[in-house]
Structure 1
Amino acid sequence: MSTGNLLTDHPELYEERFPDPDRLAARWAEDTLRRHGAGPRVLDVGCGTGRDAAWLHHHAGRRVTGIDTAETMLAHARRAHPGPDYHRGDMRDFDLGVTFDAVICLDSALLYCHTNDDLTAFLDRCRAHLTPGGLLIAEMRNGAFFLGNTELLDGPRTASFDWRGTTHTSHTTLWIDHGAQLLCRRRTWTADDGTPSPDRQEQHSAWRLLFPQELRYFLTTAGFEVLDLYDRPGPRTEPAWCEGNSPSGTTSSDRLHLVARFVDGH
């Protein structure tokens, strides 16, 4: 069995597996940017295939820059979702030499900061790239949800879909590394295209499980004022989400939504 990330290596397959025709995450981000009066320059950290960055650029009139660590994703973004400036960069040490009115991190991108040092380094990079009063906007898995909830951990989950005449099946197992405070994932892929030996890849990844008060502490220490921290509504918590919904202020669902303003120039 080979090791790899089938979805990262094949961005078209990623977009087929996780379709988002209404660009709900981008619309939520734009609604949040407008609500808090953000300027037009936006940095999308962990931009992936570029779908959200391009929507913000073309439909919301933002001047968007996207960074990601996967060159395959960036090549796809430049080809399939042109408009924004795309750069390869690590969220812990990127240096673009320009400032922005907002930094956005969608679909748990912030949680790839697995350690306290990682998160501190990322917030330092945000400070260096934000204008005074600039916003940090993120949506992510909610660490508090897993206190007493095991519904996402109860056994492997299997999903199949067709892409270009091939049926791809994923077998996904999630578990918590309590000491490291990580939600770990093992995903095995099989592709049945009629050949004698189906392709198999095993992917390992993890997200930091941040708790709301812990996140507040890191942000305050880094010179940010937390404006909003809530579980819903958001692009992955409300199937019929639309602009204008007000945050509920609770933190009991699987997703956590963050809005913070950079107020300290230290």
Structure 2
Amino acid sequence: MTDANLLTDNPALYEARFPDATRLAGRWAEDRLRHYGAGPRVLDLGCGTGRDAAHLHRAGRRVVGADLSEAMLGHARRHHPGPAYVRADLRHFDLGQRRFDAVVCLDSALLYCHTNEELDGLLASCRRALAPGGLLLAEMRNGAFFLGRTELLDGPSVSTFDWQGVTHRSTTALRVDRAAQLLRRTRVWTADDGSPPVEQHSAWRLLFPQELRHLLGTHGFEVLALYDGPGPRTDPPWSPGDPPATTVDADRLHLVARLTRET
């Protein structure tokens, strides 16, 4: 086995594994941006294959998609044109004089900042990139969900899907690294074409709601909304007109924060 990020290196495989034909994540983001009166300039941070950035572009916004993976960015430019795509590390980025009315950070991208220093770097970078009064819109796993709950940790999950005539199988195990405050994931890929297994390791920072409020406050943001559902990754998923919950107990967090001061 080799240590690789099979999905990041193969964006088409990523889209086959995580189909989003209805652009649910992009529609949710556009709905929230409209609800809170965000202006047209949007930075999609951790844009991946560009599906959500392209949806926001089609909704009439001027979008920049930023990602660290050149493979993802190349796929986005070819298959989801419209936005401008740039390479950037979300832990610390500088897009020069560009200013945005909103920064969108979906699918737990924010949680790839594993340390307090990396989180500070992300939020400081967002603060520099946003115009006064700009929004930070994020969707992520909820650290509070794992307090006393083990249903996502008790055993590996297995999924299969077909892509280009090959059946792929992923076996995923999660564990909580309490000392580092990380949710660590080991995923083993196999395929029925005889290729060797691939083992992939990744992790998300586990952030708790009050911790997140404090971090945002120290960087000049006011939290306008913080709730667990519904959203694009919840069960049942969000649909237009759904009111946000008043709880922060389930396995996803949805955040809207406004930049209220420059620090």
Alignment of 1:103-118 (within 5 A): 103-118=103-118
Any conservation in 1 of the 2:230–2:236 contact (CA below 8 Å)?
no
Which residue of 1 is the match for residue 19 of structure 2? 19
Task: Please name the residue that 1:206 is paired with.
Answer: 203
Deviation at 1:240, TM superposition (A): 4.8
Task: Please name the residue that 2:155 is paired with.
Answer: 155
Map 1:1-266; keep pairs closer than 5 Å. 1-58=1-58, 60-97=59-96, 98-193=98-193, 195=194, 198-266=195-263
1:80-118 Cα deviation digits (max 9, x unpaired)? 000100011101221111110000100000000101111
Whole-Å Cα distance in 1 between the matches of residues 90 and 6 of structure 2? Answer: 22
CA drift at 1:7 = 0.9
Q: Residue 4 of structure 1 aligns to which amino acid in structure 2? A: A
Q: Is the 2:142–2:253 contact (alpha carbons within 8 Å) kept by the matching residues of 1?
A: yes
For residues 241 and 132 of structure 2, the distance between their equivalents in structure 1, rounded to whole angstroms, comes to: 26
Task: Give, in angstroms, the shift of residue 246 of structure 1.
Answer: 1.6
1:25-71 Cα offsets, whole Å, 9 max, x none, are 1111111101110000000000000000001101x111110111110
Q: 2:43 corresponds to which letter in structure 1? A: L
RMSD in angstroms over aligned alpha carbons? 0.9
The more displaced of 163-172 and 237-246 is 237-246
Q: TM-score, normalised by structure 2?
A: 0.98
Moved more, 115-124 or 152-161: 152-161
The question of whether the paired residues in 2 share the 8 Å contact of 1:173 and 1:185 is answered with yes
Q: Deviations over 1:114-137 (max 9, x none)?
A: 011110110000010000000000
Q: 2:229–2:238: 8 Å Cα contact kept in structure 1? A: no
Structure 1 pair 234/240, CA: closer, same or farther in 2 (3 Å)?
Answer: closer
Distance 1:26 1:238 in 2: 17
Change (3 A) 1:151 1:104: same
SS in structure 1 opposite 2:49?
Answer: coil
**Contact 1:192-1:199 within 8 A present in 2 as well:** no
Aligned length: 262
What is the distance in 1 between the residues matched to 2:223 and 2:233? 21
How far residue 241 of structure 1 moved from its aligned partner, in angstroms, is 2.1
Paired residues of 1:31 and 1:244 also in contact (CA < 8 A): no
For the 8 Å contact 1:100–1:134, the answer to whether it is kept is: yes
After superposing on structure 2, the runs of 4+ consecutive aligned residues of structure 1 that deviate more than 4 Å are none
CA offset digits 1:157-184 (Å, max 9, x no partner): 1111111111111111100000110000
SS at match of 2:119: helix
Separation in 1, partners of 2:231, 2:166: 33
Match of 1:199, SS state, is: coil
Identity within the alignment, %: 68
Matched letter for residue 215 of structure 1: L
After superposing the two structures, state which structure 1 stretch, 88-97 or 39-48, moved more.
88-97
Distance 1:125 1:226 in 2: 17
Unaligned runs of 5+ in 2: none
State the Cα distance separating 1:200 from its structure 2 match: 1.7
